Amino acid sequence: MNTSFELVVLGSNSAMPAYGRYPTSQVLSLGKDSFLIDCGEGAQLRMIEYKIKRNNINYVLISHLHGDHLYGLPGFLGSLSHLSRKKPLTVYGPIGIKEYLETVLRLSQSHRSYELIIHELEHTAHTTLVDNKHWTLSAFPVNHRLPTYGYLIREKPAPRNINKAAISEYALTVKEILAIKGGADLNRGELQAFNAQLTLPASAPRSYAYCADTQVKGWDKQHLKGVELLYFETTYLHDKVEQAEARGHATTVQAAQVAMELEVGQLLIGHYSSRYKDVDPLLAEAQAIFPATIKGYDGVIINL
């Protein structure tokens, strides 16, 4: 599969910048489409540092209205005008995101060179937001202290690939090749071949699920079963489980258990409490339960 599917972690801390980590923000690139997922303070600086072209971002996905997930967004929107953006930008977020952005932009007398499209979410179940021929984007409610959504980006299954050996073996014409790529069998009277004989299976579609901030209990996760990469917040080590649950967060052990339950390919952790200067112990605690755990950290790049 030639289309890129790349995740860049811009910020991995919770609440505030600390120890070289900025608050939560990520960029997912899927072919020609790029998604900015949350936009904490410092996100733009990371984009510049990691050579991410801001004008290439088509969608902004905000999980909730806590400042460490959206205080960088007004500045990002303003910079797009300075970069002479013309194409529209679509923002998804909970109820209140429209008022927040329109108020900040109005009071700061910000000029925009592009159309800003804001969709407020008030869904109580897993809901598809965008469905095109290449991928789907959906949102789902999680369980935090205020309305919060996770996001799931799934690639559409690609058609089977033509087997090059079959082209010469059957002397396939261009018309026949196009028909076979579309799923047809070969039928030349007595000469027949099934599509499966003429093609090779395409790569499995890729998927990414983003869950921040949330407790592990109190919401439906079944639509995340088997995703290739799951981001799940790990604000605390498990010795702080009572504090985590009281504040609407999760621990390393809880996130790893969710990853096992959902049979995901890999678990990406992050949203670290500023009490931890070194987050390697959080990684070790998660890996002890779910070995395929990746330490989310500013600058980490994952290619699926």
Q: Which residues are catalytic?
A: 68
Residue 273 sits at the vertex; the CA angle it makes with 272 and 275, to the nearest 5 degrees, is: 130
Amino acid at 113: S
- Computed on alpha carbons and rounded to an integer, the radius of gyration of the chain in Å comes to 22
DSSP 250: -
Say if residue 209 is exposed, middle or buried (CB neighbours under 10 Å; 0-12, 13-18, 19+).
buried
Specify the 3-state DSSP secondary structure of 74.
helix
Specify the 3-state DSSP secondary structure of 39.
strand
CA–CA separation, 156 and 159 (whole Å)? 9
Residue pair 91/62 in contact by the 8 Å Cβ criterion: yes
